[in-house]
Amino acid sequence: MLLTVIIVLAYFIGSIPTAVWLGKRFHGIDVRDYGSKNAGATNTFRILGKKLGWAVLLIDILKGTLCTSLPFFFVDFYIGFKDEELILQLCGGFSSVLGHVFPVYAGFRGGKGVATSLGIVFGINPLGALICLGFFLFIFISFRFVSLGAITAALAFPFISFFLLREDQRIMIIFTMILSLVVIAAHRKNIRRLLRGEENKMNLLKKKA
C-alpha cells in the first residue's frame, strides 16, 4: 500500500508542467507550440528567456528530489523488508520522471525528464549527481549541444553509480540503467538531428536564447 501511495504521489508531483504553466502565466503561450515543442527547461530558455528558463530548470530538479524524499514522510508505515527505504525512493523517483514526460495535467505531453532525473540523483546519490553534472557541463560548454550533454551524462550515470555505491546498494544499478535508457529514449529525435548535423546549439550568455 505504501509503495502504491508513493508511486501515485510522485507521478502527480512529477506531472506538474512547469514550463507550460509558467509560459502561459507570464507570456500567454504554450512552449510546446514553439521551438523543439518540448515542455522542458532547454526549450524554455530558447523561447522565453533566461529568467523563466532557470525557474523551470530549478523547479523540475526539485520535483525529482522531492519525490525521492517522500518515503521519509512515511517512516511509521514501513514494513521492514530489506532495502525498503531505497526501493521506495527509487520507485518514487522513477514515477516522477514518468509524470514529467507524460504529465496528466498537460495532455501527457511533457519534457524529456533530464532535470527531474538529476533531481532524483541529487536526492539519492549527491556525489554521483555532481559528477554527472560535470560531464554534462563539459560536453555542453565544449560543443554547445544541450542534448549531447544530457545523453553523455545519462550514459555515464550507471558507471559512475557502480563505483560510488556500497555493496548493499547495488540494487540501484538496475535503476540507473533504466533511468538512463528513459532519458536517452526521450532524446531519440535529438540523436537523429545530431547525426544529420541539424541539432540547434545553445548559448546561455545571450540575453534570450
Q: Which of 134-143, 176-185, 196-205 has the highest mean pLDDT?
A: 134-143
Give the range of the structural domain holding residue 136, as residue numbers without chain letter. 2-196
Q: Taking 70 as the threshold, does the pLDDT of residue 112 lie above it?
A: yes
Count: domains in the chain? 1
3 state DSSP class of 197: coil
State the residue for C-alpha cell 565544449: 142
Mean model confidence pLDDT for the chain: 90
Q: CA 46 to CA 65: how far, in whole Å?
A: 25
Neighbours of 96 (CB within 10 A): 33
> pLDDT tens-digit profile of 52-109?
999 999 999 999 999 999 999 999 999 888 788 989 999 999 999 999 999 999 999 9
Which of these ranges, 100-109, 111-120, 175-184, has the smallest mean pLDDT?
175-184
Per DSSP, 157 falls in state H
Picking from 159, 147, 161, 130, the residue whose alpha carbon sits closest to that of residue 198 is: 147
Share of the chain above pLDDT 70, in %: 94
Q: Is residue 207 part of a domain?
A: no
**Phi-psi label, residue 109: left if phi above 0, alpha if psi -120 to 50, beta otherwise:** beta
Report the pLDDT value the prediction gives residue 208, as an integer from 0 to 100. 47
pTM as predicted = 0.87
Mark out the alpha helices in the chain (DSSP H runs): 2-14, 18-27, 41-48, 50-69, 84-101, 114-124, 126-143, 146-164, 171-186, 188-196
* 8 Å CB contact between 152 and 136: yes
Q: Is residue 116 part of a domain?
A: yes
Q: Is residue 30 part of a domain?
A: yes
| Inter-helix orientation angle 84-101/2-14, to 10° | 30
Higher-pLDDT residue of 81 and 178 is 178
Q: Is residue 201 part of a domain?
A: no
